[in-house]
Amino acid sequence: MTVPRVVSLAPSATASVSALGAADTFVGVTSHCDPSADAGASHGEEFPITVGGWLTPDLDRVADLEPDVVLTSDGLQADLADECRERGFDVRHREPSTLDEAVETFAARGADVGDPAAGQCLADEARERLDRVAEAVADRPRPTVYCEEWSDPPMAAGNWVPDAVRAAGGHYPFVEPGERSREVELSTVEAAGPDHLVVHVCGHGDRVDPATVAERDWRVDAPVHVIDDSLLNQPSPALVDGVERLAALFHPEAFSTPTQ
């Protein structure tokens, strides 16, 4: 079987294809992508080539790579996807906005790179892991959770994050599932009385000082959890890792290992 030449312009697509075990299909990725160690292996040691940022790729450079398929994601890349189509690229654009849609995208990415069976397996595995979390947190009290995707100004996380919090056994009253992240008044967070503050600032990984949130001039007394933003901001298999991480924070007694 001929290995397709894939250019990924979306970090979530790169992570999903890598999780499929198909990173060797990459001939190009963006500087924001983190492909697995065997990326580009089927096409030679010089691949994958970095083609620019995820919103500012060099499409002439993409064309030079002669891709069979170009992967994009998110509404912020919708115009870029159209521009790629105008250049004649075979574009596979995925735009999940909920947790269920993100999992469905895992299967779609398999089809995008010519391995639908692997994609379906990845999606099925994700659902099994989510089912195990759901079983572990069932019937437990649901703490109120505030998730902050950006801190200047403070923005409550949307898209699939509300689903992720609820899947982890929490209550999230700030944004409905599928809606975009939005700026939030500190008084709104105070009024909700959160039991946990989860900080996952976009593009910062886990390099955020929790004091920047904990020491705000607000009447909120709750632990601050800084987690890697890729665990919540990216609709890739890392999102399932994020749900498991949240569940362990909200319900540690449900995931503790019994002592012998």
Give the 3-state secondary structure of residue 143.
coil
| Partner residues linked to 171 by β-bridges | 144
- The torsion angles phi and psi of 83, rounded to 5 degrees, stand at -65, -40
Report which secondary-structure segment, H or E, holds 240.
helix 238-250
- Cβ–Cβ under 8 Å, residues 120 and 110: yes
pLDDT of residue 46: 83
- Per-residue model confidence (pLDDT) at position 1: 62
Residue 257: predicted pLDDT: 58
Distance, CA of 170 to CA of 136 (rounded, Å):
13
Cis amide linkage into residue 153, ω under 30° from 0: yes
Write down the pLDDT at residue 36: 87
Domains parsed from the chain with CATH numbers: 6-129 (3.40.50.1980), 145-255 (3.40.50.1980)
The pLDDT score that the predictor gives to residue 164 is: 98
Name the residue with tokens 């069979």. 68
Is the CA virtual torsion 203, 206, 212, 218 positive or negative? Answer: positive
Residue pLDDT tens, the chain, 260 long: 688 999 999 999 999 999 999 999 999 999 999 998 888 888 976 899 999 999 999 999 999 999 999 999 999 999 999 999 999 999 999 999 999 999 999 999 999 999 999 999 999 999 999 999 999 999 999 999 999 999 999 999 999 999 999 999 999 999 999 999 999 999 999 999 999 999 999 988 899 999 999 999 999 999 999 999 999 999 999 999 999 999 999 999 998 754 44
Residue 16 has φ and ψ, to the nearest 5°, of -70, -45
> For residue 155, how many other CB atoms are within 10 A of its CB?
20
E strands of 86-175, at which residues?
91-94, 145-151, 154-156
Cα 243 to Cα 120, 166, 239: the distances in Å are 20, 9, 6
Residue entry with tokens 């955020």: 208
On whether the CB atoms of residues 12 and 235 are closer than 8 A, the answer is yes
Cα 110 to Cα 194: distance, rounded to the nearest angstrom: 39
Nearest to 13 by CA among 89, 82, 69: 69
CB 8 within 8 A of CB 28: yes
